[in-house]
Amino acid sequence: MAATRAGVVCAWLLLALCRQTEPAAAPIPHVRRASAPVLGFQVPFDSARRRLVSALGRARPRGPVAALVDPAASDSPQWQQFADWASARGIRCEKWRIGDVGGGLRGAIATENVREGAVLVAAPPEAVLSVREGDACPLPRSFIDPAYWDSMAKKWEVRMALLLLYEQSLGAQSAWAAYLGVLPQTLGLPLTFSEEEVQELQYPAFIADVQIERKFWEQQFEALGSAMAIAPSRADFYWALSCACSRTATFTFGGNGSQAQVMFPAADMFNHDSSAAAAFRFSAASGCFELAAARATPSGRELVISYGAGSNSQQLPL
């Protein structure tokens, strides 16, 4: 853990030093963008930040089908259960396996020459978790007050976290138990840093954003105390929020341009590269959510996805 924190500090110190070469600009007020997500595949990331998120959130071995599971891994039964679950739900994974990509990270390695646009993961709508702004509350009143769900119409990350918390509350009876079982238990995002660790980042603009985000999410945690019959622990709330924010993609589908925020099992196992093209889509022909290869990749090389391009000033702190 100490090594992880030290790596985070070094990464952000490097980013801060790089910023010293940028032209001076008028300070931007630090206010939370109420309609903007904290993370998610639709949020632009620069390469330095991409590496930070990759290092913090993608280090666990993972694999969606039996061929991708290392039999020697101590958690291979979990992954086999996930592989069986994914297959039963119609999730199709092709042309890749999980492997070492260097720097202590694992990623998706092409098992054959992959052409640009080739489908790597496909899943029917019932095999993903999704939220849309106009959705009525899908959760029982015994779990959450639907009025609170409605109040979060523009805060998809809260809604997605509620879906995860509900499925978690069902334990082994959840239809998503196998997926929950392979989600990281800790993500190490700055949201969960101690105040001392935040200050060690030594980057005032970033620190200010982190502090504002922490206040906002603490307010939401307190609000759940009156909106839920049995409120989650702070640790569970921040776990669900971290998973939702770091593993969600935006899809447009339905023929009317409507958008949904989607947690896409197996497709959330790819590392990120800001130079890659957007790779998520909904196929009307197949009726499936798809992850397509962002570019042609030879066998044995890593397959990556992108959060998109954007300036540092557009970034949020998580």
Place of tokens 């030879």: 298
Task: Read off the DSSP letter of residue 100.
Answer: E
Q: Tell me: the pLDDT tens digits for 54-71?
A: 433 333 333 334 445 554
DSSP string covering 20-39, please? TTSPP-PPPP----TTS-SS
Overall number of domains in the chain: 1
pLDDT computed for residue 249 by the predictor: 86
pLDDT at 17: 39
Between 186 and 6, name the one with better pLDDT: 186
Alpha-helix residue ranges (DSSP H) falling in the chain: 2-19, 47-57, 76-88, 146-151, 156-170, 177-180, 195-199, 204-227, 234-246
CB 8 within 8 A of CB 201: yes
Residue type, 303: L
27 pLDDT above the threshold of 50: no
Q: 97 phi and psi, to 5 degrees?
A: -145, 170
For the chain, what percent of residues have pLDDT higher than 70?
71
What percent of the chain is modeled with pLDDT above 90? 41
pLDDT attached to residue 309: 58
More confident site: 32 or 223: 223
Rank 16-20, 67-71, 246-250 by mean pLDDT and report only the highest.
246-250
Phi, psi (degrees; rounded to nearest 5) at 96: -155, 160
- Take residue 298 and report the two structure tokens written for it: 């030879």
Instruction: Say what the pLDDT of residue 128 is.
Output: 96
Which token pair is 74?
């101590």
What pTM, to 2 d.p., does this model score? 0.74
Is residue 46's pLDDT more than 90?
no
pLDDT band at 44 (very low <50, low <70, confident <90, very high): very low
Query: What is the extent of the structural domain holding 85?
Result: 2-23+32-314
- What's the angle, vertex CA 66, arms to CA 177 and CA 272, rounded to 5? 75
Cα atoms in the 13 Å half-sphere on the side-chain side of 66 = 2
- pLDDT-wise least confident of 20-24, 81-85, 187-191: 20-24
Q: Which of 147-156, 189-198, 284-293 is predicted with the least confidence, judged by mean pLDDT?
A: 189-198
Q: Is the pLDDT of residue 73 over 90?
A: no
CB 60 within 8 A of CB 233: no
DSSP 216: H
Specify which residues 178 forms β-bridges with.
Answer: none
Residue with tokens 């929020």: 241
Distance CA 189, CA 124 (A): 30
What CATH number is given to the structural domain containing 170? 3.90.1410.10
Phi, psi for residue 121 in degrees, rounded to 5:
-140, 135
